[in-house]
Structure 1
């Protein structure tokens, strides 16, 4: 049977013999100096004997306190005190390489430059950069394996999400479902609402960019909406501006890989993240749409 006692969420060692109820040594420690003085048979008039007993008992208590682990402030549960939850952010973590800061900065700049120029495909560039960083910063195989394992949870989750998002987007685009949804939306919309069409597009961009990828929305839905707007005298530029006003909520979409990396590092559940952040993202979207209308970026025709 596991007799581990927990204190402040942390396991404590099994009780020692002297700490168990009924043990003479434990009872002696739990008693105060005055009680132990009375048991010892020394009265208040026995000055030297009483002083000797008190000194002895205080010393016993101090030794007992020193043996107890300190699980309060500054204990293992505190940040930087050995907690594995935030080891990736700890300022004194073992994975830091301060002596290689200039090499890592140069490698990062070179990688970004190669990405902008388009020397090689993005995946190839990142594989080359990752390999060089691992070999230089962690020359031993054990170190490289530990670094890869520390990021395995985030990598697996993001890769699985990317594949799932690709399948979802491919089904929507390949089967023509996106175009049919856009046509159905335009067919069901009364003609009296078309003067407000750019504002409607701005409002629709909020759920559309959350539930589908940017590629699917901007290359699949937007051409149809822009064509419908042109038939009612609304320019394609205004429709394009309206479609961008829902972007504040897009970074909360389950189809954004970066969000999984961030919540993995912060040890936050996706559901908790959405429950906290979506309401504020909706408020930001409403403010942006209102500001766009006030500045004349979208208008009533």
Structure 2
């Protein structure tokens, strides 16, 4: 039946054209954005996962920044400790020279004074972003410094922050509030360092921290005078050698933290790349596929328009019957 009120062929062609146009719009959107899942309506599950992981990646980026800050603090402290080791080695060498009977001990002491001033300068200068892990001027002991190292999401969705802990109390060179807490300011019993201790304490310290009376060092400052005996110089040597050992242990600990920070920083960077790739697999559009699909839809659109035109023109044939 032919009807001039209802053109079924045109309606069918129009419906098909609308469908093609809708698919073209979606395909063009994927091509312009590069995403096949851009909104929750595209795929709610994938969109939710991708949104969460993008948020986690931003958090990991901040963790990377925190690791960089932590690495800088460790590097500064490590550099300061290495410098201190070199200076104390010089002090040790001067004390060895002082064992010669013909050497002027007062002149060597002048050199020792300058070397100790250098140690103070090193401890005071080893600061980064307000943190100094070699000098303590607070009444409280230096505690544990924490470096933000990771952002973790558990299987139940709960998040937590992981940290690297640095025992700053083991790296303090000078403590102005309590001499016993500093490697260079604490009393060291030279007698206890003998192969066979005599039992008579002989305490020495390298640097006078000017601590409060209650917490000041009680021993003798390592210094030379014209009357300093060979036995006293030998005792000072043992104490300085012990200080070098303590400095080396502290530097080794910081070196281990330094390596751990570098490894964690590399891991975080690789983890961010892996997460980005995983998100891409879920929501990124295949541009080769989408461009091919767009070309096919453009062809279908042209055919649909032609089909609609034919359907609309078919009703014109009715006019021939009235001639």
Which one has the largest radius of gyration? 2
- Same fold flag (TM > 0.5): no
Larger strand proportion, structure 1 or 2? 2
TM-score normalised by the shorter chain: which range applies? under 0.3
Larger helix proportion, structure 1 or 2? 1
The alignment's TM-score, normalised by the length of structure 1, stands at 0.26
